[in-house]
A and B are shown apart, each in its own frame.
Chain A
Amino acid sequence: MRHRERPNSGWTRIALLAAILVSSLLISFNRGEDRQASKLETATQSGVAPLAEFLSVPLRGIEDFFGSFTDRAFAFEENERLKAEVSVLRDRQARYENLAMKVARYEAILGVDTETDVPLKKIAARAIGETDGPFVRSVLLNVGAKDGVMIGNPVMSADGLVGHVINVGPASSRVLRLSDLNSRIAVASARSGATAILAGDNSPRPKLAFINQREDWILGDRVISSGDDGALPRGLAVGEVIAGEAGGLRVRLASRRAGIDWVWVSPYTRVLPPAETDNIIEEVQ
């Protein structure tokens, strides 16, 4: 197939300027409020998911190959550390079992249920793609609406909270990581109960903003989701408080490990404010 073009055709230049203009306009639409993923975006995500899943197999192989060298190098130190940890955990387990019995007895006496609102059902998923760009930190999962995943569902790894689902396709979903610029979740100190907002800023250690009761936060505090905004259940492990710049506080994420492989999605239903709930009831009626 051949096509003769006039040399130095001005049309190319005009088309190029038009393409740049359209791109700039599209970028400007992203400014401001949270952008909802379009159907085309969801379809593209679903389309590339099988390719990403196919590519992730050899890439995991490469990671495992190089990871095995690191694991062997630190095997002795890790063994010592794990032994010490096991002895501490045995003691904690005994205390935990006693406390669980005590709480169950109190619940029976008072007729209340103090169970955490973290759903027991979990949807296992594999992270098949991970965007670790200069502005976007997201993970693509191989589960979607067909598996029961919904927008807003929290996503956990074995270490802790990874983020929440922001886009769902039929067989894939995208997770906004806690370190992403757009991530904001309500958190609390597991020790004191003081609350704050964990704000992602593209660094591996997000900052604590809107800190309530600053004196109740100390370095090393375990950070959990507070469930205050109703978006996430209370009690999900987030990380540990560390010192930030200029007296601020940051959080070393529990799920800080760079490569995320297996995760699970908690099909948690967001708690809606009364006004929104009323609307839904009216719609149903």
Chain B
Amino acid sequence: MTFLDAQAPIRRVWPAIIAGIALFLAGAVSIVGVTVFGFRAGFEFFPLLVLAIWPRDANRMVSLLLVFLGGIFTDWATGGIVGQWALVYTVIWGVLRPELRSAPYAFISLFLCWFATCGLAIILIGVSGWFVFSALPDFTSFGRQIIAATVALPIVLVLRGLLAKRFSDGEEWDS
């Protein structure tokens, strides 16, 4: 018997929609970046932050639909390989399975989960890009994007906590 069987959870649509909007916004933001001290940091990994903290009680089918469409949107917005981010988002969402998390992230587990997400994204982007272009990816670009997104992770987490509190499931994120 799993946790889900015992709890008979109610999956709500609105958390999925809010997370979906955040994913689309992050997808749009991913086309910009910032150069500091000659170090270019792109924001292409920002949508993965949204996936890493996807609400646990979001309706699964709506979530999946929005995650897939968010990926296609990011592909179009960035002018990249169509289907690449859609594949990355859906696989990561499928692996993370937010609805199976029984408790909110602790600080260390959040970072472990985040770096696992980045690792998975690198593998998927690398393999799909190699399939299309028959060339290896620029690994330094991955590094720069992960650093930029990791710096933003605590900010995104605080924003998520505030939103969750506002919509009355804040106690789940207090740990």
Contact = CB atoms under 8 A, between A and B. Distances in A.
Interface string B32-66: 11111111101010000000000000011100110
B5 to A, nearest CB: 5
25 contacts: A1-B14, A7-B4, A12-B64, A16-B64, A19-B90, A22-B68, A23-B68, A26-B83, A27-B81, A41-B82, A44-B76, A52-B28, A59-B33, A63-B34, A63-B35, A70-B38, A131-B42, A131-B80, A133-B78, A134-B125, A134-B137, A135-B137, A136-B78, A140-B79, A181-B135
A30 interface: yes
A205 to B, nearest CB: 12
Nearest to A130: B33
Interface string B64-97: 1101100111001111111110110011011000
Given A20-B94, A41-B82, A27 B132 contact: yes
Contacts of A70: 37-38
Contacts of A225: none
Given A30-B132, A203-B138, A11 B34 contact: no
A228 interface: no
A129 interface: yes
Contact of A2 (B12, B29, B31, B135): B12
A47 to B, nearest CB: 8
B71 A23 contact: yes
Contacts of A202: 135, 137-138, 141
A133 B60 contact: no
A3 B32 contact: no
Contacts of B137: 134-135, 202
Nearest to A40: B76
A131 B87 contact: no
Contacts of A132: 33, 40, 42, 141, 144
A66 B40 CA distance: 12
B83 A134 contact: no
A5 B64 CA distance: 14
For chain B, give the interface size range. Answer: 35 or more
Contacts, number: 189
Contact of A66 (B4, B36, B60): B36
Interface in B110-148: 125-126, 128-129, 131-133, 135, 137-139, 141-142, 144-145
Given A41-B79, A56-B32, A62-B36, A5 B141 contact: no
A44 B27 CA distance: 11
Interface of B: 2, 4-5, 8-14, 28-29, 31-40, 42, 44, 59-61, 64-65, 67-68, 71-73, 76-84, 86-87, 90-91, 93-94, 125-126, 128-129, 131-133, 135, 137-139, 141-142, 144-145
Nearest to A23: B87
For chain A, give the interface size range. Answer: 35 or more
9 pairs of A and B residues whose beta carbons are closest in the complex: A26-B83, A134-B137, A259-B35, A23-B87, A129-B31, A44-B76, A7-B4, A27-B83, A258-B40
A181 B132 CA distance: 11
A48 B37 CA distance: 27
Interface in A35-92: 35, 37, 40-41, 44-45, 47-48, 51-52, 55-56, 59, 62-63, 66-67, 69-70
Nearest to A167: B79
Contacts of A48: 28, 31, 77
B131 A19 contact: no
A136 B30 CA distance: 13
Interface string A9-37: 10110011001101111111111000101
A24 B141 CA distance: 23
